[in-house]
Structure 1
């Protein structure tokens, strides 16, 4: 069995209506599958003006706007017309990309049809409640996630550290790796553009501390801001460059009035922005991989990141950057001060990051998931079924 034998039904809470790292990975996967001769059908909420056009047929799933985050939508059902479409498509494996209502319905449908189903893990959803004053709900969310993922034949994590966390949390007995790749034509040291920096009012000799990502509080914007305040008190010369857009932009701009905000960037413009930084600061603990971390390393700049899933698999502490205890403001500031003050330390970490990132190619990582699909289908054909969910203490 190979990719050309696959008929994949992909269920996602967001396939293309908002651009983020998770759905861009899904779209790259679908591109690869189609090139290999596979058939793919996507089931996801849609909007009138999506962030980018779909690359496969997308069957509309009804949804509601997320409270306080209306740019995202929550699927509310798997309607009959979508189920009929799925029956006509006749998939031989289902892939669920989010543990929402749509994902739960898809898993139940797969069980009734005796079809294998796998899940990819993109976000540490259980950590989000911390940013809304609901941290007491985290154990409940973990229990719900555990029941969901244990009903799947296998789950795929984007990093070794996230895979180990999922094993420790007893999410599934079959945890594979579907990591993320890097487009080296976009993310490389040659994209550095000092003229572009000057156009933003940044002097050549001033070290630039960068933030890249959606501007939402879950990305650790509070920790980032507190760390920059601490760095300023230490009288470390620097400039903050923020690349991204999101509902917290107004708050972030007021919190860091001296920072330069470029807004959303993509493609070669994003590669130029990242390569033109001197150090990337990523304090987030919600990522399962951290695409921006890999992109920064590929451009030859060090990364200072929270010691959390994703970053732990990408940043080699003291070699390609620094891994710091989450929320440790003074330690974050100390690590950033080192790279701001020591150009040779930056250069050494940059060279190490380029070498490390060289093993990440999109075709290679997507083929690993294709191999996983084929393995799961063969196992199911041979009578192998995933153990059912067990009681959670």
Structure 2
């Protein structure tokens, strides 16, 4: 039949379609590889490290094997304590006792000095002494080895897979009975999360207050003037973040430009302590993130039909009322996108709070960096990062639901 295709022609069409699909896949393959190695792999590693903690299990495997038969009441057996004495001797000779001490100290404060001092005492003993009388020698080294709480802490940190990092990140802990309860000491993480969200909200509001009028003015200005002003808006992107932050240090320090001007105008009598405070972090980050608010707003406002505003004015509405009833609702997509962008970026910011915030202006990202670089508690850092990621995803999901529902109503 003249209107039908032969099997050969159908096969040729299928082969051509397959070739186009392979070509399309090859074109996007570099992007897929970049996303995998730059985003998927690091995030997966972070999620894994938040529950995987093999350090203690690799340092004292014999002790943990003996502890697996302990019911948690009283003291572990003599064989368990002797095994720890032998392994402390090995760790002392290999100069790795400090790693075990740091790990146990997170669950049992004071264990760091105890383990290090005991390891030094075990180092020069003979293996025969430790094998035959290890438990007694361990107890004699320090009476704290006769406390069941210490052994429970060792058993707890010795688990290869654990949720304890998440409990710590949420200021929770397990009691002697294994029940989850509020942490009695060092409850700082939830407070720091709250402070981070509060600072991010203030920065977002300030960016809206400063960026919305400027974006509206840019959208209404002549093209030549708008392009010139847009260059000034984009200028911070061409300047190093470190340079911009350092400039704010010079501006906000005790004898800096801000205090000098205020004193010259007789507004203040003594310099204000602005640098290394929460206010310094908010000011510097608002300046850095302001373009991220202006650009989405400008892109939406530039596409608004000016006749809408003129129509509202011609029908007797005042300029402010017309703006609120006409322009503001139509600019909400750009406003919500800019607010979400600024909020998410500010929640995870690290460099600026570290340089200008001091102790008061630190955010959760700075504590994550501390555990990665100084305390070497990668598991807790990964748990804190995972909770921050979950928070950001929840914010994005909420934004998507609200904006999606609004678009459906408008459609």
Is the pair's TM-score, using the shorter chain for normalization, greater than 0.5?
A: no
Q: Which has the higher strand share?
A: 1
Higher relative contact order (CA 8 A, sep 6+): 2
Q: Which has the larger radius of gyration?
A: 2
Q: State the TM-score, normalized to the length of structure 1.
A: 0.21
